[in-house]
Amino acid sequence: MEEEVKNYVDTFMSTLIARNPGEKEFHQAVREVVESLAPYIIENPQLRKSKILERITEPERVVIFRVPWLNDRGEVEINRGYRVQMNSAIGPYKGGIRFHPSVNLSVLKFLAFEQTFKNSLTTLPMGGGKGGSDFNPKNRSDEEVMKFCQSFMTELQRHIGSDTDVPAGDIGVGGREVGYMYGQYKRLRNEFTGTLTGKGLGWGGSPLRPEATGYGTCYFAEAMLATRGESFKDKTVVISGSGNVAQYAVQKTLQLGGKPVTLSDSNGYIHDPDGIDAGKLQYVFELKNIFRGRIKEYVERYPKAKYYEGQKPWGVKCDIALPCATQNELDGEAAALLVKNGCKCVAEGANMPSTPEAIAVFQNAKLLYAPGKAANAGGVATSGLEMTQNSMRISWTPEEVDAKLHSIMSDIHAACIKYGTEEDGYINYVKGANIAGFIKVAGAMLSQGLV
Ligand code: NDP
Ligand code: 2IT
């Protein structure tokens, strides 16, 4: 069987790589899923004959477009816009928009692929999609960001809609960008519908959508820790990133009694041995969301903390690690350091932050390790709740949304246990999430015929 699985994976991957040359992030995301699913596919000839895995790795549609705009100096700038509509078997395409210079087709295909499984895990009816641009919003004025968002949406609006494809935020896209894009969408289409999520509270947004990814990641980690009779209480928590997901991961860590000690950005990390408490977090909210500053400024305000230029926080001794910045930010060496320093639990707030080598280190050490598609699904789940509220034209209270978010994260955790528990009792969350996410999408694809 082992030999058959290996052959299946090798053959599948060499065909996929030949069809999608150079797309290394996409290859990485697919390989992880195919390695989990191969035994299941081999046991189910119907899935193999229907080529479900070959179909699920081929986007239903990819749109690539020119985004021309004028900067504040009156110069013409050209960016490239994308929307990858990966899979609509169980609902309209759903997934964020990323604005970052590193955005390319490979990155967006990996994200849209992961999103398909993640959205299926939420139990809500959402297909998988992802979009974005190589536009860099850093050091741009509000006017420039608005002009870019308007030009981007002028093309994107043809391809999306509340029952077709519902974008949201991701790296570089928060409330400000969603606002500008929604305004332009509404103007061009003359309709006020739930076509984007992450909207402002006063105009169709859901309570707790900004908090949802970070909170959900902590709820998931809490459930993981509970399988070993542990909790966040008095645990030291290392967090990377300092954007939306990281900020609310800090907040929920504090509420659960943990001690967050790090934050980072692409330039370096800060370590605050006394802990980032609620007052310091308030400073971070303002620094990042209002002044759009850099995390190194934290040490000017709190001199007992230290800033480490050009480094990542994984060498800081901790009990729990929550990577909340970006893909491949935690490699095999970093994973080995975390294990050596006694870390017990890693839950991914970001998408694919751990390299395959890092995942192998965690799993060999029998650490509690959960991939982003399970642990960070609270963000898109709450987007799904925003879609429901928009369709019903009502608003739930923060307490109602929080209760639903909590219960969705518990259900995802239970699904991982069901499909991921190994013979020795170790919960392989990667396998659990991949199989549980796949079963629902594959079943829908089989029912809907060859489309
Ligand atoms: P933000 O743009 O709010 O913050 C991103 C953070 O990550 C910043 O601190 C940024 O630092 C850092 N970062 C980005 N790119 C890099 C890089 N190449 N190297 C090092 N650091 C980097 O984004 P979010 O917090 O929304 O997203 C963070 C992660 O969470 C992403 O992987 C995203 O896909 C994932 N995610 C987000 C969800 C959401 O609802 N927003 C939902 C589920 C997952 P810098 O300022 O230097 O760029
Ligand atoms: O990666 C993700 O799940 C997101 N960026 C959120 C997507 C969404 O539609 O809310």
Write out the chain's pLDDT in tens, 451 residues: 789 999 999 999 999 999 999 999 999 999 999 999 999 999 999 999 999 999 999 999 999 999 999 999 999 999 999 999 999 999 999 999 999 999 999 999 999 999 999 999 999 999 999 999 999 999 999 999 999 999 999 999 999 999 999 999 999 999 999 999 999 999 999 999 999 999 999 999 999 999 999 999 999 999 999 999 999 999 999 999 999 999 999 999 999 999 999 999 999 999 999 999 999 999 999 999 999 999 999 999 999 999 999 999 999 999 999 999 999 999 999 999 999 999 999 999 999 999 999 999 999 999 999 999 999 999 999 999 999 999 999 999 999 999 999 999 999 999 999 999 999 999 999 999 999 999 999 999 999 999 9
CB 351 within 8 A of CB 370: no
Q: Which ligand has the nearest atom to the CA of 375?
A: 1
**What order do you get walking across the sheet with 268-271 strand by strand?**
262-265, 268-271, 306-309
How far is residue 227's CA from residue 242's CA, in Å, rounded to a whole number?
A: 29
- Pocket probe for ligand 2: among 25, 170, 388, the residue whose CB has the most ligand atoms within 8 Å is 170
pLDDT tens sequence across 160-207: 999 999 999 999 999 999 999 999 999 999 999 999 999 999 999 999
pTM: 0.98
CB 268 within 8 A of CB 296: yes
Q: What is the reported pLDDT for 102?
A: 98
Q: What ligand 1 atom has the least distance to the C-alpha of 198?
A: 40
Q: What is the reported pLDDT for 23?
A: 98
Determine whether the shortest distance from the Cβ of 136 to ligand 1 is under 6 A: no
Q: What ligand 1 atom has the least distance to the C-alpha of 246?
A: 25
Q: What is the reported pLDDT for 384?
A: 98
pLDDT tens sequence across 341-387: 999 999 999 999 999 999 999 999 999 999 999 999 999 999 999 99
Strand-pairing partners, residue 346, are: 321, 369
Q: Which ligand has the nearest atom to the CA of 243?
A: 1
Percentage above 70 pLDDT, the chain? 100
Q: What is the reported pLDDT for 164?
A: 98
**Residue 240: which of 218, 263, 261 has the closest Cα?**
263
Q: What is the reported pLDDT for 1?
A: 73
Residue nearest to atom 39 of ligand 1 (CA): 170
Q: How deeply is 73 buried, as exposed, middle or buried, from its count of CB atoms within 10 A (0-12, 13-18, 19+)? A: exposed
* Amino acid making up residue 242: S
Rg (CA), the chain: 21
Residue nearest to atom 28 of ligand 1 (CA): 325
Name the residues annotated as catalytic: 130
How far is residue 94's CA from residue 163's CA, in Å, rounded to a whole number?
A: 10
How far is residue 279's CA from residue 209's CA, in Å, rounded to a whole number?
A: 22
In eight-state DSSP terms, residue 242 is: -
pLDDT tens sequence across 315-324: 999 999 999 9
Tokens found for residue 348: 């991914």
Determine whether the shortest distance from the Cβ of 351 to ligand 1 is under 6 A: yes
CB 86 within 8 A of CB 112: yes
How far is residue 295's CA from residue 244's CA, in Å, rounded to a whole number?
A: 13
Determine whether the shortest distance from the Cβ of 383 to ligand 2 is under 6 A: yes
Angle at 200 between CA 199 and CA 204, to 5 degrees: 65
Determine whether the shortest distance from the Cβ of 96 to ligand 2 is under 6 A: yes
Determine whether the shortest distance from the Cβ of 197 to ligand 2 is under 6 A: yes
Q: Compute the distance from residue 302 Cα to the ligand 2 centre, in Å.
A: 33
CB 369 within 8 A of CB 363: yes
Instruction: Calculate the CA dihedral of residues 62, 66, 70, 74 and round it to 10 degrees.
Output: 150
Q: What is the reported pLDDT for 90?
A: 98
